[in-house]
Structure 1
Amino acid sequence: MNFFGSTAVQHTEKHKIPEEVTKAGFNIDPDELASIVRSHDIKRLESNGGLNGISTKLSVSLENGISLSEIPIRQKIYGLNKFVEKPPRPFWMFVWDALQDLTLIILMVCAVVSVGVGIATEGWPKGMYDGIGIISCIFLVVIVTAISDYKQSLQFRDLDKEKRNIFVHVTRNGSRKKVSIHDLVVGDIVNLSIGDQVPADGIFISGYSLTIDESSLSGESEPVNMEKNRPFLLSGTKVQDGSGKMLVTSVGMRTEWGRLMVTLSEGGEDETPLQVKLNGVATIIGKIGLGFAVLTFLVLTTRFIVVKAIHGHITEWSMNDALNLLNYFAIAVTILVVAVPEGLPLAVTLSLAFAMKKLMNDKALVRHLSACETMGSASCICTDKTGTLTTNHMVVTKIWICGEAKRVEENNTTTNEKVARTLVQAIFLNTGGEVVKGKDGKTEILGSPTEAALLEFGLRFDKNFDAQKKEFNIIKLEPFNSVKKKMSVLVKLSDGKVRAFVKGASEIILCMCDKIVEKNGESVPLSEEQRKKIADVINSFACEALRTLCLAFRDMENDESIPETNYTLIVVVGIKDPVRPGVKEAVKTCLDAGIVVRMVTGDNINTAKAIAKECGILTDDGIAIEGPEFRDKTTEEMKEIIPKLQVMARSLPLDKHKLVTMLRKELKEVVAVTGDGTNDAPALHEADIGLAMGIAGTEVAKESADVVIMDDNFSTIVNVAKWGRSVYINIQKFVQFQLTVNVVALMTNFVSACISGSAPLTAVQLLWVNMIMDTLGALALATEPPHDGLMKRSPIGRNVNFITKIMWRNIIGQSIYQLIVLGVLKFDGKRLLNLNGPNSNATLNTLIFNTFVFCQVFNEINSRDMEKINILKGMFSSWIFVIVMVSTVTFQVIIVEFLGTFANTVPLSGDLWILSVLTGAGSLIIAIGLKCIPVNTGFPMHHDGYEPLPTGPDLA
């Protein structure tokens, strides 16, 4: 004692406790406390009096936890359980990134040279107009791109914060509560169970077989068993097995995880598969654009030199000639700017970010950006039953006890006191749940839905849960294990005897029993005839869609280990978990959309089949199979039955993993998997899209998933699929729109340059069009909300080409119309419109530019739907689209009427404005004609990835 006492004195002198800590009633320095746990220093822990000494110095009861009134002072002294985040990138950095675009840099050089040459030839300020016009457009493009990227980065930070907001169970004021990980304070008593993430650094108090996976911190794959000589728990590690309680000793930046976070930089999102695919498309288009740009510059320069040679001025060069050549170069560069579709990645990002935000409102947290897009291609969903298809609020509705099956009514309880006492012990002592008093004084049950149902049933017989727990000493506990499908406990009774309790899957527990409880409470041998009758009862319960569990006990001579045989069966319980409202409709929506729904559950096959039929999953020609039978089949046999497999019951996690692997690798399906347990992590990781349950799901399951379903509802999963399809189709709409503009802009300037020696669309005009395409177009089309029609077609196949033949039909048809219109105006516009006078060329070029822009405005409306004729349906409910359209037209009016000096335009008469708008609106009529062309004729192009597709227009 003296030795420890002297050590403590030396230690206190070395680490003097700050005055503010002692004033608050605590007796240990926060940094000293954090250091003991981080360094796993058992000697320093002992020198501070061990666990009890630390709890005394922290003024906390290991039984009742802290009081709520102490939370603010503990947060002030010991800190918040939050990490110091890397500050967000300032806006100017996004501006700087946008300025790194090579084509914009070339244009800036052109603009500067243009200003210099212009002032030298035309004087101040007239000579500056062309250069300033280009600089203004560059400025607008950069600012809009930077604002979009900046807002997206802020949105991802918000989503990341939501993702890290984990909830844990703590004991405060003597009762168990559910709180956010961010609200934890030093001194909290945290309850841990399988799959939980350790939320802060702390010391192990008590538990059963608590095993911690520290690989995320130490890199060691071997799990660590918590014991008195190794009681340290570190934030960020995971509970691999067992359950227990810990005392929080340090939070936030004082934890080992917090110190590690300081050295980590903020990770960005990887490119999604669709972004990779579109970047490839953008590269090809960019190369074509580069070819056209070089060709246009060569044609214009060659014509210019030939004309000078014909007039005999080949040796005479002036500043005007240099300005002409510079103008040709600017046109070539601008053609390149227009050709390079920077808007493709932007459209994908905008669409995904928009979908992520909307799904967050609809109770789905998208953890990985690509999941939203991939979910649109899902052809199969392997779903859990409990909590996903069902309400996850279980109630014991039928029981078999003392040889008699009965319904559980309000006042229907067993009469024999001895039987009731044994039953209550089996429920209250062998449980992972807890009965607590809520804020309003009402009884609240914490734990899994199954545990809650059993505890609620047990409270019918005895309201005093705590008294039962305190009366008996728990020697050993084996938490529920998904492989063994049972939970066991060894207790010492008040008379000194040892008794083992077991509960779990009915057929497994029944096999462990050789006796049953009679009506008088005595144990009698279990005959084969009785065993068969009980098996029939279990099957009859299961056929009523009841989940069945058996509870049994065994009296023992010693407390060495929990036995596996010779138990006495007490009761068979049938637990009802009603199907969620809307699930049947959601399953039908999936089937209509070509998505096969497969139920994979650990339940009895009869229960699974009953629920599957109720949900509409199991059909007359479908197959229901048990896990053991499935895993015994060869790969070839599996490949034969999986296409018809609709229900897998009594499955192990490896069965689920094998099914998902076969579907993906052998059958080339795009697979979504739902899961809530730690044991589901392999299947969630293997799937194309892992969907973890937000309420019932463990932290390991959530971390392995791509999407967290916050309300554990199957209907939400269908909503994710719908938004995923919407993302894909919205990007297709944008690509169709952009390629049309690209083709028309390139061909118009190229053909005009070849024939007349001048390009009707100037550098500033093309930059404005580029901004319409890349930014406003992406914003308008990429944020269109999904419609129900998306779920009435089959999924997009793996590895199909992105640009479909429907898109090619629309692109080529609209391009031909626009090229004809612009060609007629360019080469015969003066005669047709009777344009004369010195401003006739400027007026004609302005009209061509105006008509070209209005063609894009109306074609953007066409692009809202690639197949339906009624493209106005739902347009005015999409406020982003309407705002973009109005903004585009407003800016166009301002450019033409008021910014002519910079944009090389002149004000147009009312007649010419009407002509521009009506010519642009003609694309609506062209679109109707194009949509009447069947997709299976006309163009020998690849399949579009959808089955089946309408062969004519959809008038809806």
Structure 2
Amino acid sequence: MLVTGVGINTEWGLLMASISEDTGEETPLQVRLNGVATFIGIVGLTVAISVLLVLLARFFTGHTKNPDGTTQFIRGKTSMGETVDGVIKIITAAVTIVVVAVPEGLPLAVTLTLAYSMKKMMADKALVRRLSACETMGSATTICSDKTGTLTLNEMIVVEAYSGKTKMDPPEDGSKLHAIVSTLLDEGIAQNSTGSVFLSKEGGIQVSGSPTEKAILSWGAKLGMKFDIVRSESIVLHVSPFNSTKKRGGVAIQGKSDSEVHIHWKGAAEIILESCTWYIDGNGCLQSIGQDKEFFMAAIENMASRSLRCVGIAYRTCEVDKVPTVEEQLSRWVLPDDDLILLAIVGIKDPCRPGVKNAVKLCTDAGVKVRMVTGDNIQTAKAIALECGILTSDVNAIEPNIIEGRTFREMSDTEREQIAKTISVMGRSSPSDKLLLVQTLRRLGEVVAVTGDGTNDAPALHEADIGLAMGIQGTEVAKESSDIIILDDNFASVVKVVSWGRSVYANIQKFIQFQLTVNVAALVINVVAAMSSGDVPLNTVQLLWVNLVMDTLGALALATEPPTDSLMHRTPVGRREPLVTNIMWRNLSIQALYQVGVLLILNFYGKSILNLEHDGTGHANMVKNTLIFNAFVFCQIFNEFNARKPEEFNVFTGVTKNHLFIGIVGSTLILHIIIIEFLGKFSSTVRLDWKLWLVSVAIGIFSWPLAIIGKLIPVPETPLAKIL
């Protein structure tokens, strides 16, 4: 052995180096969230500074009044302590606005949503290794899938069989076999095989061997053949192992009581057929193959056109005296392979997994393009793609949606980019071709998910936005390079991951709509009130309580909404779609305008509307501000239901199934009642009578019909604000 390279200079070293590189690239959602957080932070800081300057200016110019109507600051008369207290109060109000505006609940909402989805995805046979992969999968625009084991069962089975000129339909129907043919097939399948059939502990039949051997042995077992009896009643004299050049293998066996030797051959159907001169018909009679050879060739071609692997089974007899008796001569004996008698032709295939066609259709309806990337030949890949629904019509291999890996590899970068989006099937592809396709699609702006199970798939899994390794057939290197492990190796589970990913994205959008509504309303109310009267109706403690409702509890309530069927009827968001959609802008604008309008009316005209009399103690002002605070919180509680269904009229669909949502809304309501009724000193509120409670509830509940009316307003499809 000559060592030509070690470490990084070996193929293994290059592979490990390619998958260990961390590009540090952010996911599509992280990019959007950073934009939203930055925008809200800048707006909040700007508003806070503006309020600070306005309040300080009004304070030092003597325009700020106490609740009893006296001026807070009079130059030369107000003490230093009172001045400092007034300034601190103003700064606190400004800082509180920043706290309310900055979306510190956003990371919590994202993490809660991802963690909740990760836990639920385990039940759907998906193990998430990287948390952010959950939401990235929801943005996926294309899935590059393996064929074997993912779209198919990775389990070869006999799906078509001919005995003589009789087609066995189904192939396991042993009634179509003559007793002579059945006996000979039993003998040939049992002895001319490297596989084994045995009973499992549970009493079922288990088969070992190569995929082809297992398929034929399983077929024989379904026909009722007793391999153990055959093997015990016959002796193997000589074996000619399967040869990939000759594409056939044979065995010479002799029954313990027979005077003749049977030589059984099995291999590529067209090769076996060329050596056959006879066949056994349905009556068990020997017939010359003669002109009937065309029938068998047509059957083979028909099966091959449907990408079935055709295997021929034949035999011939040999006189005992022609068999070498000396061991040395027997080991060099060449089994005769002419003048064979055809027993059967079988068509074998690796069938599609149950449910894969529906899963592919779900992806297609959801706007996610499924591409098959396989090492199999074009015809096999094409047949499976048609069966799975990846191809919808019988297209030729020369068309751009079917391509060989070698052809794609030899193209220039520009040519690859032009054709990459149209490719549905790539056959005869190497791992480097798969990696090249992933890189090309990502350059075109696609969010790419890749499935793989082999060590050579690791670079493509690592390069993709979402790498999905197979949990059963996958190697450790593939799993280490992946973001999600599909525990049952089933493409249908990949579609469930897409559904959960979209649920993550939708839940985050719901939370952002809810939070922005509160942000806009709270900021506008305080800014307008501060600039007009020098006072803010929502004080620091009240704003912090609203912030708690809006951020922490709101995140908990909206982050745990399960996926719905409607999510899989939307187009994927991809990389460039804004996080805040036009529908969200419409909904939050309507709700925020309503809240701002009603609460500002209460702020400026509340005393006269409620017939609150000035008593010189500021009690009327306290009642008015408490009502504003109470109505504002009720608006958020009722609007939380609207946020559940941004596009649907019925916002209560499925709400009873989300016990966490109901529990959080109920807890929020109880805590708020406690704050108003029993913690007035802490929150600077006063107790309200039952009429004012009804007013607050009425103001809040009106957001429901308002939301329905708002959803009737059409919005343009083109995003209004790319910044978010």
- Normalised by the length of structure 1, the TM-score is 0.59
CA distance, structure 1, for counterparts of residue 717 and residue 427 of structure 2: 47
User: Is 2:665 the counterpart of 1:859?
Assistant: no
Q: Matched residue of 2:132: which SS?
A: helix
Task: From 38, 46, 55, give the equivalent of 1:300.
Answer: 55
Kindly name which structure, 1 or 2, has the bigger radius of gyration based on alpha carbons. 2
User: Is 2:108 the counterpart of 1:346?
Assistant: yes
CA distance, structure 1, for counterparts of residue 709 and residue 80 of structure 2: 52
Partner of 1:890: 670
**Contact map agreement 1:402 1:518 (CA 8 A) in 2:** no
Task: From 421, 434, 441, give the equivalent of 1:663.
Answer: 441
Task: From 604, 612, 628, give the equivalent of 1:827.
Answer: 604
Alignment of 1:704-719 (within 5 A): 704-719=481-496
CA distance, structure 2, for counterparts of residue 672 and residue 709 of structure 1: 13
User: Is 2:651 the counterpart of 1:878?
Assistant: no
Partner of 2:325: none
Give the drift of 1:738: 0.8
Give the drift of 1:893: 0.7
Per the alignment, do residues 763 and 467 of structure 1 end up closer, same or farther by CA in structure 2, a change over 3 Å counting? farther
User: Is 2:512 the counterpart of 1:750?
Assistant: no
**Contact map agreement 2:186 2:227 (CA 8 A) in 1:** no
Alignment of 1:563-712 (within 5 A): 573-603=346-376, 605-620=378-393, 624=397, 625=402, 627=404, 630-631=407-408, 634-635=411-412, 642-665=420-443, 667-712=444-489
Per the alignment, do residues 663 and 401 of structure 1 end up closer, same or farther by CA in structure 2, a change over 3 Å counting? farther
User: Is 2:687 the counterpart of 1:907?
Assistant: yes
Q: Which runs of 5+ in 2 are unaligned?
A: 17-21, 64-70, 255-263, 281-288, 316-327, 333-339
The letter for the 2-side match of 1:588 is: K
User: Is 2:48 the counterpart of 1:286?
Assistant: no
Give the drift of 1:487: 11
**Contact map agreement 1:594 1:795 (CA 8 A) in 2:** yes
Q: Matched residue of 1:691: which SS?
A: strand
Partner of 2:588: 811
Partner of 2:541: 764
Per the alignment, do residues 329 and 712 of structure 1 end up closer, same or farther by CA in structure 2, a change over 3 Å counting? same
Bigger shift: 373-382 or 447-456? 447-456
Per the alignment, do residues 467 and 424 of structure 1 end up closer, same or farther by CA in structure 2, a change over 3 Å counting? closer
Give the drift of 1:784: 1.1
CA distance, structure 2, for counterparts of residue 685 and residue 582 of structure 1: 28
Question: Which deviations, in whole Å up to 9, do the C-alpha atoms of 1:173-205 show, x marking residues without a partner?
Answer: xxxxxxxxxxxxxxxxxxxxxxxxxxxxxxxxx
User: Is 2:97 the counterpart of 1:335?
Assistant: yes
Partner of 1:24: none
The letter for the 2-side match of 1:592 is: D
Give the drift of 1:658: 3.8
Give the drift of 1:824: 0.9
Partner of 2:708: 928
Give the drift of 1:853: 0.9
Give the drift of 1:353: 1.2
The letter for the 2-side match of 1:381 is: I
Question: Which deviations, in whole Å up to 9, do the C-alpha atoms of 1:204-242 show, x marking residues without a partner?
Answer: xxxxx9xxxx99xx8784669xxxxxxxxxxxx9xxxxx
Partner of 1:721: 498
Alignment of 1:404-443 (within 5 A): 407=171, 409-410=173-174, 412=177, 415=181, 424=190, 427=193, 429=194, 437-440=199-202, 442-443=204-205
Per the alignment, do residues 284 and 475 of structure 1 end up closer, same or farther by CA in structure 2, a change over 3 Å counting? farther
CA distance, structure 2, for counterparts of residue 310 and residue 370 of structure 1: 52
Alignment of 1:484-563 (within 5 A): 516=275, 537-543=299-305, 546-548=308-310
Per the alignment, do residues 370 and 517 of structure 1 end up closer, same or farther by CA in structure 2, a change over 3 Å counting? farther
**Contact map agreement 2:367 2:572 (CA 8 A) in 1:** yes
**Contact map agreement 1:474 1:489 (CA 8 A) in 2:** no
Question: Which deviations, in whole Å up to 9, do the C-alpha atoms of 1:128-155 show, x marking residues without a partner?
Answer: xxxxxxxxxxxxxxxxxxxxxxxxxxxx
Question: Which deviations, in whole Å up to 9, do the C-alpha atoms of 1:822-843 show, x marking residues without a partner?
Answer: 1111111101111124411111
Per the alignment, do residues 291 and 416 of structure 1 end up closer, same or farther by CA in structure 2, a change over 3 Å counting? closer
**Contact map agreement 1:426 1:552 (CA 8 A) in 2:** no
User: Is 2:516 the counterpart of 1:739?
Assistant: yes
Give the drift of 1:900: 0.9
Task: From 919, 926, 936, give the equivalent of 2:699.
Answer: 919
**Contact map agreement 2:375 2:428 (CA 8 A) in 1:** yes
CA distance, structure 2, for counterparts of residue 549 and residue 813 of structure 1: 70
CA distance, structure 2, for counterparts of residue 358 and residue 221 of structure 1: 41
Give the drift of 1:681: 3.4
Partner of 2:318: none
Give the drift of 1:777: 0.8
Bigger shift: 885-894 or 693-702? 693-702
Give the drift of 1:896: 0.6
Identical aligned residues as a percent: 48
- Normalised by the length of structure 2, the TM-score is 0.76
Partner of 2:227: 463
Alignment of 1:218-297 (within 5 A): 221=10, 272-297=27-52
CA distance, structure 2, for counterparts of residue 349 and residue 270 of structure 1: 19
The letter for the 1-side match of 2:385 is: A
CA distance, structure 2, for counterparts of residue 358 and residue 515 of structure 1: 57
Give the drift of 1:536: 5.1
Task: From 371, 377, 380, give the equivalent of 2:133.
Answer: 371
User: Is 2:562 the counterpart of 1:800?
Assistant: no
Give the drift of 1:313: 3.8
**Contact map agreement 1:623 1:645 (CA 8 A) in 2:** no
Question: Which deviations, in whole Å up to 9, do the C-alpha atoms of 1:916-951 show, x marking residues without a partner?
Answer: 11112222233223222211299954599xxxxxxx
The letter for the 2-side match of 1:663 is: L
Partner of 1:79: none
Give the drift of 1:335: 1.2
CA distance, structure 2, for counterparts of residue 488 and residue 319 of structure 1: 103
Partner of 2:551: 774
CA distance, structure 2, for counterparts of residue 805 and residue 880 of structure 1: 29
Give the drift of 1:703: 3.0
Q: Matched residue of 2:687: which SS?
A: coil
Give the drift of 1:768: 0.9
The letter for the 1-side match of 2:549 is: I
Partner of 2:627: 847
**Contact map agreement 1:622 1:645 (CA 8 A) in 2:** no
Alignment of 1:135-284 (within 5 A): 221=10, 272-284=27-39
Give the drift of 1:650: 4.7
CA distance, structure 2, for counterparts of residue 931 and residue 474 of structure 1: 81
Per the alignment, do residues 746 and 423 of structure 1 end up closer, same or farther by CA in structure 2, a change over 3 Å counting? same
**Contact map agreement 1:622 1:646 (CA 8 A) in 2:** no
**Contact map agreement 2:136 2:465 (CA 8 A) in 1:** yes
Give the drift of 1:364: 1.7
Give the drift of 1:749: 1.7
Per the alignment, do residues 677 and 323 of structure 1 end up closer, same or farther by CA in structure 2, a change over 3 Å counting? same
Per the alignment, do residues 387 and 310 of structure 1 end up closer, same or farther by CA in structure 2, a change over 3 Å counting? closer
**Contact map agreement 2:645 2:651 (CA 8 A) in 1:** yes
Q: Matched residue of 1:905: which SS?
A: coil
CA distance, structure 1, for counterparts of residue 305 and residue 405 of structure 2: 20
